[in-house]
């Protein structure tokens, strides 16, 4: 294990909080005088910061830490029986093993964090636009009706802008799309206020988005034939209303 790798593992263990109290105090002192160690600790803190809020606390099994300590002590005792040099080597290996495990855990945590970030991006990704509007007009200077469409619910809202009521007549709204064949009625429009109805519930969103909407003047109550009885007075197409 190179010096750089050893510093990286030590920094990872320090940030993860797996060092013993005395070792942590020693590393805290070292980071003040060793720029390479300080930089490694800061890098680990930046890497693991996104996991602080995302990760849930997990309680380890009771007595786990004590069992780990006992196992290390037993191994060190066996090696110590063979000589002080072997005991020192075993103790050093135990420290390195703890650091390797910490580094491996940190790597797994980073991988899990990456998955969380990807999932969050997918969950927070802006949904497909749902709200559209169209101004039905003869030309730019003469808007007559404003329609709003929610593609998720297929709710249609129509409100008069400058169209004047006609005695004994009704304004009727139509949807026109080559895929539908003849124009389809979306109902009579109220002379005042809002006309709100789920008039588009039977139409595919692609048809709705690409359709032309038109208003004709019909006998009171709407066309008696189910088809327009006059030429359109105002037309328009939907445009996205929300980013």
Query: For 199-208, how does the pLDDT look when each residue is reduced to its tens digit (9 = 90+)?
Result: 999 999 899 9
Domain boundaries, the chain: 3-124, 131-240
Give the Cα separation of 211 and 206 in Å (integer). 8
**Looking at per-residue confidence, does 46 or 158 come out higher?**
158
CB 37 within 8 A of CB 27: yes
pTM for the model stands at 0.48
Which residues have C-beta within 8 Å of that of residue 222, sequence separation ≥ 6? 170, 172, 185, 187, 188
Q: Which CATH number fits domain 131-240: 3.10.350, 1.10.10, 3.30.70, 2.60.40?
A: 2.60.40
Give the Cα separation of 235 and 176 in Å (integer). 10
Show the beta-strand stretches assigned E in the chain.
Answer: 131-137, 143-150, 155-160, 169-176, 184-189, 195-197, 212-219, 234-237, 239-240
Quick one: average pLDDT of 51-75?
63
Q: Among residues of the chain, what percentage have pLDDT more than 90?
A: 33
pLDDT tens sequence across 117-158:
444 455 445 455 678 888 888 876 678 889 999 888 889 999
CB 24 within 8 A of CB 99: no
């Amino acid at each position: 294990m190179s010096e750089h790798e050893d510093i990286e593992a030590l920094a990872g263990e320090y940030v993860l909080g797996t060092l013993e109290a005395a070792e942590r105090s020693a590393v805290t002192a070292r980071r003040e005088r060793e720029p390479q160690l300080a930089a490694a600790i800061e890098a680990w803190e930046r890497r693991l910061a996104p996991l602080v809020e995302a990760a849930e606390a997990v309680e380890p099994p009771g007595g786990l830490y004590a069992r780990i300590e006992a196992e290390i002590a037993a191994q060190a005792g066996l090696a110590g029986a063979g000589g002080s040099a072997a005991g020192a080597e075993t103790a050093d290996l135990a420290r390195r093993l703890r650091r390797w495990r910490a580094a491996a855990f940190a790597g797994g945590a980073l991988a899990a964090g990456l998955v969380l970030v990807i999932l969050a991006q997918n969950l927070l990704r802006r949904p497909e636009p749902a709200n559209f509007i169209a101004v039905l007009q003869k030309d730019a200077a003469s808007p007559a009706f404003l329609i709003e469409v929610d593609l998720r619910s297929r709710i249609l809202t129509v409100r008069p802008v400058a169209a004047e009521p006609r005695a004994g007549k009704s304004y009727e709204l139509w949807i026109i799309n080559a895929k539908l064949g003849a124009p389809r009625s979306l109902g009579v429009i109220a002379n005042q206020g809002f006309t709100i109805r789920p008039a588009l519930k039977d139409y595919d969103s692609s048809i709705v988005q690409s359709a032309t909407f038109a208003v004709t003047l019909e006998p009171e109550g709407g066309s008696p034939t189910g088809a327009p009885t006059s030429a359109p007075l105002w037309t328009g197409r939907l445009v996205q209303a929300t980013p």
